[in-house]
């Protein structure tokens, strides 16, 4: 898949899966505009891969819209930024719930709106990939806010797919299982918990960021021209186990 001359907005490109998506896109000829939070990551992205990097806290709706507009015009959009806080359902706080929904659900809506408006205005086609999680399909203990935020994101993906396809813009969701990134360390560093999860993955390992990035690039590409509105697990068979 070639992305020569294409501009791709990648949120959360500072670390983990988003970083790998940005790297892979640059290797395949794309110009990447990264939207991410930490200043050190912004500097590294500019230095290492020549990405245009915009520093923004995606929990802030106004700042997110401003950053999205500054990132345009773009051919493709990957909403990858995500965050989690582990709390049992009975102890889930309103503050944590709102924070997770703001970053995992509301920010993809805001960035998606500005991206799609710009394409429609210029009569150009495009594609969006929203990075969800297997956590939107199942209930994972201590992940109430996270599961809810990703379920909300899936609903958004499906409406985007219906409303934007007539304008030539496809939207799909990618659902990783545990993937070896800084976020996974936060949720899966307990060896007993990790072993229990691993046992349910028929291919016998957790995902690497590149496993997810390859699928994201496919869904953006013209090779996936007839793929719209799907929720694609990238989980080594976890969902059928």
Is there binding between residue 15 and ligand NDP (CB under 6 A)?
yes
Run of H or E including 127? strand 126-131
Please name which of 198, 214, 152, 232 lies closest in space to residue 27, comparing C-alpha atoms.
Answer: 214
Q: From the CB of 122, what's the least distance to ligand NDP, in Å?
A: 27
Q: Tell me how far apart the alpha carbons of residues 67 and 70 are, in angstroms, rounded to a whole number.
A: 5
Q: From the CB of 15, what's the least distance to ligand NDP, in Å?
A: 4
Catalytic residues: 146, 150
Q: Which residues face 234 on adjacent strands? A: 176
Q: Tell me how far apart the alpha carbons of residues 39 and 234 are, in angstroms, rounded to a whole number.
A: 30
Q: Which residues face 31 on adjacent strands? A: 7
Residues 179 to 218 in contact with ligand NDP, rule: CB under 6 A: 179, 181-184
Is there binding between residue 83 and ligand NDP (CB under 6 A)?
yes
φ, ψ of residue 76 in degrees (nearest 5): -135, 160
Which residues are within 8 A (CB) of 121 and not within 5 positions of it... i.e. 6 or more apart?
none
Packing angle of the helix pair 16-27, 39-49 (nearest 10 deg):
20
Among 10, 30, 44, 82, binds ligand NDP (CB under 6 A): 82
Among 24, 178, 216, 232, binds ligand NDP (CB under 6 A): 178
Count of residues touching ligand NDP (by CB under 6 A):
28
Q: From the CB of 125, what's the least distance to ligand NDP, in Å?
A: 25
Q: Please identify, among the stretches 46-54, 137-145, 175-183, 197-205, the one whose residues bind ligand NDP according to the rule CB under 6 A.
A: 175-183
Q: Please identify, among the stretches 1-9, 51-59, 108-116, 156-164, the one whose residues bind ligand NDP according to the rule CB under 6 A.
A: 51-59
Q: Tell me how far apart the alpha carbons of residues 115 and 4 are, in angstroms, rounded to a whole number.
A: 20
Is there binding between residue 57 and ligand NDP (CB under 6 A)?
yes
Among 8, 9, 10, 17, binds ligand NDP (CB under 6 A): 17
Q: Tell me how far apart the alpha carbons of residues 59 and 11 are, in angstroms, rounded to a whole number.
A: 12
Q: Please identify, among the stretches 53-61, 117-125, 163-171, 191-199, the one whose residues bind ligand NDP according to the rule CB under 6 A.
A: 53-61
Is there binding between residue 131 and ligand NDP (CB under 6 A)?
yes
Cα–Cα–Cα angle for 98, 100, 104, nearest 5°? Answer: 125
Phi/psi zone of residue 60: left (φ > 0), alpha (ψ -120 to 50 degrees), beta? Answer: beta
Is there binding between residue 37 and ligand NDP (CB under 6 A)?
yes
Interacting residues toward ligand NDP by CB under 6 A: 12, 14-18, 36-38, 41, 56-59, 80-83, 103, 131, 133, 176, 178-179, 181-184
């Amino acid at each position: 898949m070639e992305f020569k001359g294409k501009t791709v907005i990648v949120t959360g490109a500072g670390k983990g899966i988003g970083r790998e998506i940005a790297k892979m896109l640059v290797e395949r000829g794309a110009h990447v505009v990264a939207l991410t939070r930490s200043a050190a990551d912004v500097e590294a992205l500019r230095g290492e891969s020549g990405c245009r990097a915009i520093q923004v806290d995606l929990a802030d709706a106004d700042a997110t819209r401003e950053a999205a507009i500054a990132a345009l015009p773009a051919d493709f959009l990957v909403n990858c930024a995500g965050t989690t806080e582990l709390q049992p359902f009975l102890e889930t706080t309103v503050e944590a719930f709102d924070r997770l929904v703001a970053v995992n659900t509301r920010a993809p809506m805001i960035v998606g709106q500005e991206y799609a408006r710009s394409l429609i205005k210029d009569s150009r086609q495009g594609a969006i990939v929203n990075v969800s999680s297997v956590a939107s399909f199942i209930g994972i203990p201590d992940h109430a806010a996270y599961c809810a935020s990703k379920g909300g994101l899936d609903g958004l993906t499906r409406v985007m797919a219906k409303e934007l396809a007539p304008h030539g813009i496809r939207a799909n969701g990618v659902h990783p299982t545990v993937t070896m990134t800084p976020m996974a360390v936060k949720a899966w560093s307990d060896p007993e918990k990790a072993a229990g999860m691993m046992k349910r993955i028929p291919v016998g390992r957790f995902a690497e960021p590149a496993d997810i990035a390859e699928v994201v690039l496919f869904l953006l590409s013209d090779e996936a021209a007839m793929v719209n509105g799907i929720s694609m697990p990238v989980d080594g068979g976890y969902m059928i186990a």
